[in-house]
Structure 1
Protein backbone atom coordinates (compact mmCIF):
# COMPACT_ATOMS: atom_id res chain seq x y z
CA UNK A 1 0.00 0.00 0.00
CA UNK A 2 1.32 3.43 -0.94
CA UNK A 3 1.92 6.30 1.45
CA UNK A 4 -1.01 8.74 1.48
CA UNK A 5 0.21 12.36 1.47
CA UNK A 6 -1.83 15.50 1.95
CA UNK A 7 -1.17 19.23 2.14
CA UNK A 8 -0.98 20.54 5.71
CA UNK A 9 -2.43 23.84 6.86
CA UNK A 10 -3.00 25.97 9.93
CA UNK A 11 -5.23 23.33 11.52
CA UNK A 12 -2.22 20.97 11.57
CA UNK A 13 0.05 23.46 13.35
CA UNK A 14 0.22 21.80 16.77
CA UNK A 15 0.72 18.29 15.37
CA UNK A 16 3.40 19.36 12.87
CA UNK A 17 5.35 21.35 15.47
CA UNK A 18 5.17 18.44 17.89
CA UNK A 19 6.45 16.02 15.23
CA UNK A 20 9.33 18.29 14.18
CA UNK A 21 10.25 18.93 17.79
CA UNK A 22 10.38 15.20 18.48
CA UNK A 23 12.19 14.30 15.25
CA UNK A 24 14.93 16.94 15.56
CA UNK A 25 15.30 17.26 19.33
CA UNK A 26 18.61 15.37 19.34
CA UNK A 27 19.71 16.24 15.81
CA UNK A 28 23.33 17.51 15.63
CA UNK A 29 22.25 20.84 14.14
CA UNK A 30 19.56 21.39 16.79
CA UNK A 31 22.09 20.46 19.45
CA UNK A 32 24.45 23.08 18.05
CA UNK A 33 21.76 25.76 18.04
CA UNK A 34 20.71 24.83 21.59
CA UNK A 35 23.78 23.25 23.26
CA UNK A 36 22.21 22.91 26.71
CA UNK A 37 19.81 19.95 26.71
CA UNK A 38 17.22 21.27 29.15
CA UNK A 39 17.07 24.64 27.43
CA UNK A 40 16.73 22.86 24.09
CA UNK A 41 13.73 20.91 25.37
CA UNK A 42 12.06 24.18 26.35
CA UNK A 43 12.89 26.32 23.30
CA UNK A 44 13.35 23.92 20.38
CA UNK A 45 9.65 23.74 19.59
CA UNK A 46 9.52 27.51 19.08
CA UNK A 47 12.20 27.24 16.39
CA UNK A 48 10.28 24.45 14.67
CA UNK A 49 7.16 26.63 14.72
CA UNK A 50 9.14 29.48 13.19
CA UNK A 51 10.26 27.17 10.38
CA UNK A 52 6.65 26.03 9.88
CA UNK A 53 5.52 29.64 9.53
CA UNK A 54 8.16 30.23 6.85
CA UNK A 55 7.08 27.15 4.90
CA UNK A 56 3.40 28.10 5.08
CA UNK A 57 4.19 31.60 3.79
CA UNK A 58 6.88 30.76 1.22
CA UNK A 59 5.85 27.33 -0.01
CA UNK A 60 3.89 24.41 1.34
CA UNK A 61 3.92 21.63 3.92
CA UNK A 62 3.26 17.97 3.08
CA UNK A 63 2.32 15.45 5.74
CA UNK A 64 1.54 11.75 5.63
CA UNK A 65 -2.10 10.99 6.33
CA UNK A 66 -1.25 9.29 9.62
CA UNK A 67 0.82 12.30 10.74
CA UNK A 68 4.06 10.35 11.14
CA UNK A 69 6.18 12.33 8.66
CA UNK A 70 6.27 15.90 7.39
CA UNK A 71 8.21 17.90 4.78
CA UNK A 72 8.60 21.69 4.66
CA UNK A 73 9.12 23.11 1.16
CA UNK A 74 9.84 26.67 0.01
CA UNK A 75 9.23 27.89 -3.53
CA UNK A 76 12.31 30.01 -4.26
CA UNK A 77 12.36 32.38 -7.25
CA UNK A 78 15.48 33.31 -9.17
CA UNK A 79 17.39 36.41 -8.13
CA UNK A 80 18.77 37.84 -4.93
CA UNK A 81 16.57 37.50 -1.85
CA UNK A 82 15.52 40.96 -0.69
CA UNK A 83 14.95 39.49 2.78
CA UNK A 84 18.38 37.87 3.05
CA UNK A 85 19.74 40.47 5.47
CA UNK A 86 16.73 40.96 7.73
CA UNK A 87 15.21 37.48 7.70
CA UNK A 88 17.72 35.74 10.01
CA UNK A 89 17.52 38.57 12.54
CA UNK A 90 13.72 38.45 12.54
CA UNK A 91 13.76 34.68 13.05
CA UNK A 92 16.08 35.06 16.02
CA UNK A 93 13.93 37.84 17.51
CA UNK A 94 10.78 35.74 17.16
CA UNK A 95 12.21 32.50 18.53
CA UNK A 96 14.99 33.24 21.03
CA UNK A 97 16.40 36.80 20.96
CA UNK A 98 19.42 35.95 23.12
CA UNK A 99 20.50 33.03 20.93
CA UNK A 100 22.88 34.33 18.25
CA UNK A 101 23.24 30.87 16.70
CA UNK A 102 19.72 31.00 15.29
CA UNK A 103 20.67 34.03 13.26
CA UNK A 104 24.10 32.61 12.42
CA UNK A 105 22.86 29.36 10.93
CA UNK A 106 20.20 31.18 8.94
CA UNK A 107 22.83 33.52 7.49
CA UNK A 108 25.33 30.76 6.70
CA UNK A 109 22.79 28.57 4.92
CA UNK A 110 21.40 31.61 3.16
CA UNK A 111 24.82 32.56 1.82
CA UNK A 112 25.23 29.06 0.35
CA UNK A 113 21.76 29.00 -1.20
CA UNK A 114 21.76 29.19 -5.02
CA UNK A 115 20.04 32.27 -6.46
CA UNK A 116 20.46 31.85 -10.22
CA UNK A 117 17.46 29.59 -10.94
CA UNK A 118 14.00 29.12 -9.41
CA UNK A 119 13.65 25.89 -7.43
CA UNK A 120 11.84 23.95 -4.74
CA UNK A 121 13.78 24.03 -1.47
CA UNK A 122 13.36 21.12 0.92
CA UNK A 123 13.99 23.02 4.12
CA UNK A 124 13.17 20.21 6.56
CA UNK A 125 11.84 16.69 6.56
CA UNK A 126 10.96 14.97 9.81
CA UNK A 127 9.83 11.42 10.57
CA UNK A 128 8.56 10.23 13.92
CA UNK A 129 11.43 8.34 15.63
CA UNK A 130 9.32 5.19 15.87
CA UNK A 131 8.61 5.19 12.12
CA UNK A 132 12.04 5.90 10.69
CA UNK A 133 13.37 3.45 8.13
CA UNK A 134 9.95 2.77 6.58
CA UNK A 135 10.44 4.91 3.48
CA UNK A 136 8.08 7.68 4.59
CA UNK A 137 10.61 10.43 4.00
CA UNK A 138 11.43 9.09 0.54
CA UNK A 139 7.73 9.04 -0.32
CA UNK A 140 7.30 12.65 0.80
CA UNK A 141 10.27 13.84 -1.22
CA UNK A 142 9.42 11.71 -4.23
CA UNK A 143 5.97 13.23 -4.61
CA UNK A 144 7.46 16.71 -5.05
CA UNK A 145 10.37 15.54 -7.21
CA UNK A 146 7.91 13.86 -9.57
CA UNK A 147 6.20 17.21 -10.02
CA UNK A 148 9.58 18.89 -10.51
CA UNK A 149 10.42 16.46 -13.28
CA UNK A 150 7.04 16.93 -14.91
CA UNK A 151 7.42 20.73 -14.84
CA UNK A 152 11.16 20.86 -15.54
CA UNK A 153 11.85 22.41 -12.13
CA UNK A 154 14.99 22.25 -9.98
CA UNK A 155 15.26 21.31 -6.30
CA UNK A 156 17.68 22.07 -3.49
CA UNK A 157 18.38 21.00 0.09
CA UNK A 158 21.10 20.73 2.74
CA UNK A 159 22.05 17.25 3.95
CA UNK A 160 23.06 17.19 7.60
CA UNK A 161 24.78 13.80 7.71
CA UNK A 162 26.31 11.16 5.47
CA UNK A 163 23.28 8.89 5.70
CA UNK A 164 20.85 11.53 4.45
CA UNK A 165 23.34 12.65 1.82
CA UNK A 166 23.44 9.12 0.40
CA UNK A 167 19.62 9.01 0.31
CA UNK A 168 19.42 12.32 -1.50
CA UNK A 169 22.03 11.21 -4.00
CA UNK A 170 19.84 8.21 -4.84
CA UNK A 171 17.01 10.67 -5.52
CA UNK A 172 19.13 12.64 -7.98
CA UNK A 173 20.64 15.39 -5.80
CA UNK A 174 24.30 16.27 -6.19
CA UNK A 175 26.64 18.05 -3.78
CA UNK A 176 27.28 21.62 -4.91
CA UNK A 177 30.95 21.44 -3.92
CA UNK A 178 31.00 23.80 -0.91
CA UNK A 179 29.97 22.74 2.58
CA UNK A 180 28.36 24.89 5.25
CA UNK A 181 30.54 24.51 8.34
CA UNK A 182 28.90 25.66 11.56
CA UNK A 183 31.52 27.16 13.92
CA UNK A 184 32.61 24.39 16.32
CA UNK A 185 29.65 22.39 15.06
CA UNK A 186 28.42 19.98 12.39
CA UNK A 187 28.82 20.27 8.64
CA UNK A 188 26.01 20.62 6.10
CA UNK A 189 26.18 19.56 2.44
CA UNK A 190 24.19 21.78 0.05
CA UNK A 191 22.74 19.61 -2.73
CA UNK A 192 21.14 20.54 -6.04
CA UNK A 193 18.92 18.47 -8.31
CA UNK A 194 18.39 18.96 -12.03
CA UNK A 195 14.99 17.84 -13.33
CA UNK A 196 15.03 14.37 -14.85
CA UNK A 197 13.08 13.24 -17.93
CA UNK A 198 9.53 12.62 -16.82
CA UNK A 199 8.27 9.13 -17.61
CA UNK A 200 4.53 8.55 -17.76
CA UNK A 201 2.81 5.35 -16.70
CA UNK A 202 2.54 4.46 -20.36
CA UNK A 203 6.30 4.53 -20.78
CA UNK A 204 6.56 7.78 -22.72
CA UNK A 205 8.20 10.99 -21.64
CA UNK A 206 6.40 14.11 -20.64
Structure 2
Protein backbone atom coordinates (compact mmCIF):
# COMPACT_ATOMS: atom_id res chain seq x y z
CA UNK A 1 0.00 0.00 0.00
CA UNK A 2 1.30 3.46 -0.86
CA UNK A 3 1.54 6.45 1.42
CA UNK A 4 -1.86 8.00 2.10
CA UNK A 5 -1.92 11.63 0.95
CA UNK A 6 -4.63 14.25 1.32
CA UNK A 7 -5.11 17.86 0.29
CA UNK A 8 -4.33 20.24 3.16
CA UNK A 9 -6.46 23.28 3.94
CA UNK A 10 -6.82 26.17 6.33
CA UNK A 11 -7.52 23.85 9.26
CA UNK A 12 -4.02 22.38 8.83
CA UNK A 13 -2.28 25.76 9.12
CA UNK A 14 -0.66 25.31 12.53
CA UNK A 15 0.52 21.77 11.81
CA UNK A 16 1.95 22.64 8.38
CA UNK A 17 3.79 25.73 9.64
CA UNK A 18 5.22 23.78 12.55
CA UNK A 19 6.38 20.97 10.26
CA UNK A 20 8.01 23.34 7.75
CA UNK A 21 9.66 25.33 10.51
CA UNK A 22 11.07 22.16 12.04
CA UNK A 23 12.21 20.72 8.70
CA UNK A 24 13.85 23.86 7.30
CA UNK A 25 14.96 26.04 10.22
CA UNK A 26 18.55 24.81 10.07
CA UNK A 27 18.61 24.20 6.32
CA UNK A 28 21.51 25.97 4.52
CA UNK A 29 19.13 28.22 2.61
CA UNK A 30 17.18 29.23 5.70
CA UNK A 31 20.46 29.77 7.55
CA UNK A 32 21.53 32.12 4.76
CA UNK A 33 18.24 34.03 4.84
CA UNK A 34 18.42 34.32 8.65
CA UNK A 35 22.14 34.15 9.53
CA UNK A 36 21.58 35.01 13.20
CA UNK A 37 20.37 31.84 14.88
CA UNK A 38 18.22 33.51 17.52
CA UNK A 39 16.57 35.78 14.97
CA UNK A 40 15.96 32.76 12.75
CA UNK A 41 14.16 30.95 15.54
CA UNK A 42 11.91 33.96 16.06
CA UNK A 43 11.21 34.77 12.40
CA UNK A 44 11.54 31.58 10.37
CA UNK A 45 8.05 30.31 11.15
CA UNK A 46 6.56 33.55 9.81
CA UNK A 47 8.26 32.99 6.47
CA UNK A 48 6.97 29.43 6.32
CA UNK A 49 3.45 30.67 7.04
CA UNK A 50 3.75 33.23 4.25
CA UNK A 51 4.81 30.46 1.86
CA UNK A 52 1.82 28.40 2.98
CA UNK A 53 -0.53 31.30 2.27
CA UNK A 54 0.93 31.69 -1.23
CA UNK A 55 0.47 27.99 -1.93
CA UNK A 56 -3.11 27.97 -0.67
CA UNK A 57 -3.95 30.95 -2.89
CA UNK A 58 -1.89 30.08 -5.98
CA UNK A 59 -1.79 26.29 -5.92
CA UNK A 60 -2.32 23.53 -3.40
CA UNK A 61 -0.74 21.79 -0.43
CA UNK A 62 -0.46 18.01 -0.09
CA UNK A 63 0.17 16.36 3.27
CA UNK A 64 0.56 12.76 4.36
CA UNK A 65 -2.30 11.42 6.41
CA UNK A 66 -0.11 11.18 9.51
CA UNK A 67 1.08 14.79 9.10
CA UNK A 68 4.79 13.98 8.87
CA UNK A 69 5.45 15.27 5.33
CA UNK A 70 4.07 18.16 3.32
CA UNK A 71 4.56 19.59 -0.17
CA UNK A 72 3.73 23.14 -1.28
CA UNK A 73 2.88 23.51 -4.98
CA UNK A 74 2.10 26.59 -7.06
CA UNK A 75 0.09 26.25 -10.28
CA UNK A 76 1.93 28.63 -12.63
CA UNK A 77 0.37 29.78 -15.92
CA UNK A 78 2.44 30.78 -18.91
CA UNK A 79 3.63 34.37 -19.27
CA UNK A 80 4.68 37.12 -16.90
CA UNK A 81 2.19 37.60 -14.07
CA UNK A 82 0.86 40.95 -12.94
CA UNK A 83 2.61 42.18 -9.78
CA UNK A 84 5.30 39.51 -10.03
CA UNK A 85 8.18 41.96 -9.74
CA UNK A 86 6.78 43.43 -6.51
CA UNK A 87 6.27 40.04 -4.90
CA UNK A 88 9.70 39.64 -3.22
CA UNK A 89 9.57 43.13 -1.72
CA UNK A 90 6.04 42.54 -0.47
CA UNK A 91 7.08 39.24 1.10
CA UNK A 92 10.02 40.91 2.83
CA UNK A 93 7.81 43.71 4.13
CA UNK A 94 5.26 41.26 5.49
CA UNK A 95 7.68 38.83 7.16
CA UNK A 96 10.87 40.66 8.18
CA UNK A 97 11.08 44.22 6.77
CA UNK A 98 14.73 44.79 7.64
CA UNK A 99 15.93 41.51 6.13
CA UNK A 100 16.96 42.25 2.55
CA UNK A 101 17.84 38.61 1.95
CA UNK A 102 14.17 37.65 1.81
CA UNK A 103 13.67 40.01 -1.10
CA UNK A 104 16.96 38.97 -2.67
CA UNK A 105 16.21 35.26 -2.78
CA UNK A 106 12.75 36.00 -4.16
CA UNK A 107 14.22 38.18 -6.88
CA UNK A 108 16.91 35.66 -7.86
CA UNK A 109 14.56 32.67 -7.99
CA UNK A 110 12.00 34.74 -9.87
CA UNK A 111 14.54 35.69 -12.53
CA UNK A 112 15.41 32.02 -13.06
CA UNK A 113 11.82 30.79 -13.14
CA UNK A 114 10.60 29.71 -16.61
CA UNK A 115 7.61 31.63 -17.96
CA UNK A 116 7.05 30.11 -21.38
CA UNK A 117 4.84 27.15 -20.42
CA UNK A 118 2.28 26.45 -17.68
CA UNK A 119 3.60 24.12 -15.00
CA UNK A 120 3.35 22.89 -11.44
CA UNK A 121 6.03 24.46 -9.26
CA UNK A 122 7.21 22.46 -6.26
CA UNK A 123 8.05 25.35 -3.99
CA UNK A 124 8.86 23.38 -0.83
CA UNK A 125 8.70 19.84 0.48
CA UNK A 126 9.32 19.11 4.13
CA UNK A 127 9.55 15.86 6.09
CA UNK A 128 9.79 15.53 9.86
CA UNK A 129 13.44 14.90 10.76
CA UNK A 130 12.63 11.57 12.42
CA UNK A 131 10.84 10.31 9.28
CA UNK A 132 13.36 11.35 6.65
CA UNK A 133 14.73 8.60 4.41
CA UNK A 134 11.47 6.64 4.38
CA UNK A 135 10.31 7.71 0.93
CA UNK A 136 7.57 10.10 2.11
CA UNK A 137 8.90 12.98 0.04
CA UNK A 138 9.11 10.84 -3.08
CA UNK A 139 5.53 9.69 -2.54
CA UNK A 140 4.26 13.26 -2.24
CA UNK A 141 6.09 14.34 -5.38
CA UNK A 142 5.23 11.21 -7.34
CA UNK A 143 1.50 11.61 -6.76
CA UNK A 144 1.56 15.06 -8.39
CA UNK A 145 3.90 13.99 -11.18
CA UNK A 146 1.50 11.21 -12.08
CA UNK A 147 -1.24 13.81 -12.48
CA UNK A 148 1.11 16.00 -14.50
CA UNK A 149 1.77 13.08 -16.83
CA UNK A 150 -1.94 12.35 -17.19
CA UNK A 151 -2.72 16.00 -17.97
CA UNK A 152 0.39 16.78 -20.03
CA UNK A 153 1.72 19.34 -17.54
CA UNK A 154 5.32 20.31 -16.95
CA UNK A 155 6.88 20.63 -13.49
CA UNK A 156 9.59 22.83 -12.02
CA UNK A 157 11.56 23.17 -8.79
CA UNK A 158 14.85 24.43 -7.33
CA UNK A 159 17.05 21.76 -5.76
CA UNK A 160 18.97 23.04 -2.75
CA UNK A 161 21.50 20.24 -2.33
CA UNK A 162 23.34 17.65 -4.41
CA UNK A 163 21.34 14.94 -2.61
CA UNK A 164 17.97 16.42 -3.53
CA UNK A 165 19.20 17.14 -7.05
CA UNK A 166 19.98 13.44 -7.50
CA UNK A 167 16.53 12.48 -6.21
CA UNK A 168 14.78 14.86 -8.57
CA UNK A 169 16.87 13.61 -11.48
CA UNK A 170 15.59 10.10 -10.79
CA UNK A 171 12.04 11.47 -10.91
CA UNK A 172 12.59 12.88 -14.39
CA UNK A 173 13.75 16.44 -13.70
CA UNK A 174 16.78 17.87 -15.45
CA UNK A 175 19.00 20.82 -14.50
CA UNK A 176 18.21 23.83 -16.66
CA UNK A 177 21.91 24.70 -16.93
CA UNK A 178 22.19 27.88 -14.86
CA UNK A 179 22.51 27.71 -11.08
CA UNK A 180 21.22 30.37 -8.71
CA UNK A 181 24.07 31.71 -6.58
CA UNK A 182 22.96 33.20 -3.28
CA UNK A 183 25.59 35.87 -2.47
CA UNK A 184 27.94 34.34 0.07
CA UNK A 185 25.60 31.37 0.46
CA UNK A 186 24.56 28.05 -1.09
CA UNK A 187 23.60 27.37 -4.68
CA UNK A 188 20.17 26.42 -5.96
CA UNK A 189 19.70 24.30 -9.08
CA UNK A 190 16.60 25.07 -11.18
CA UNK A 191 15.18 21.82 -12.56
CA UNK A 192 12.50 21.21 -15.19
CA UNK A 193 10.45 18.12 -16.01
CA UNK A 194 8.51 17.39 -19.18
CA UNK A 195 5.45 15.15 -18.88
CA UNK A 196 5.98 11.49 -19.59
CA UNK A 197 3.57 8.99 -21.16
CA UNK A 198 1.51 8.05 -18.11
CA UNK A 199 1.42 4.30 -18.77
CA UNK A 200 5.23 4.19 -18.74
CA UNK A 201 5.61 5.45 -15.18
CA UNK A 202 4.89 2.29 -13.31
CA UNK A 203 4.89 4.13 -9.97
CA UNK A 204 2.89 3.36 -6.85
CA UNK A 205 3.77 6.71 -5.33
CA UNK A 206 0.84 7.19 -3.04
CA UNK A 207 -2.90 7.28 -2.75
CA UNK A 208 -5.27 10.04 -1.73
CA UNK A 209 -7.61 9.77 1.23
TM-score (norm 2): 0.95
The question of 1:33 aligning with 2:33 is answered yes
Bigger relative contact order (CA 8 A; separation at least 6)? 2
The aligned length equals 202
Cα gap change, 1:151 to 1:36, in 2 (>3 Å): same
* 1:77 Cα deviation after fit: 0.2
Q: Which residue does the alignment assign to 1:103?
A: 103
Matches of 1:188 and 1:78 in 2, distance apart? 22
Deviates more, 1:81-90 or 1:59-68: 81-90
Superposition pairs of residues 11-26 of structure 1, within 5 angstroms: 11-26=11-26
The aligned residue for residue 136 of structure 1 is: 136
Give 2:167's aligned residue.
Answer: 167
1:91 and 2:74 correspond: no
Answer yes or no: is 1:68 the counterpart of 2:64.
no
Moved segments of 4+, more than 6 Å = none
1:16-53 deviations in whole A, cap 9, x for unaligned? 00000000011000000000111101100000000000
Structure 1 CA distance for aligned equivalents of residues 46 and 179 of structure 2: 27
Alignment deviations for residues 116-169 of structure 1 (CA, whole Å, 9 cap, x no partner): 000000000000000000000000000000000001100000000000000000
How far the C-alpha of 1:81 sits from its partner, in A, is 2.1
Give 1:2 shift.
1.5
Q: Distance in 2 between matches of 1:10 and 1:130?
A: 25
Select between 84-93 and 147-156 the one with higher mean Cα deviation.
84-93
The one-character-per-residue Cα deviations of 1:82-141 (angstroms, maximum 9, x if unpaired) are 222111111001100010000000000000000000000000000000000000000000
Deviates more, 1:141-150 or 1:74-83: 74-83
Moved more, 165-174 or 76-85: 76-85
Question: What is the aligned partner in structure 2 of residue 55 from structure 1?
Answer: 55
Gaps of 5+ in 1: none
TM-score, scaled to structure 1: 0.96
Q: Paired residue for 2:124?
A: 124
Counterpart of 1:199 in 2: which secondary structure? helix
Q: In 2, distance between residues paired with 1:40 and 1:155?
A: 30
Please list every run of 5 or more consecutive structure 2 residues that lacks an aligned counterpart in the other structure. 203-209
Change (3 A) 1:40 1:71: same
1:149 maps to which residue? 149
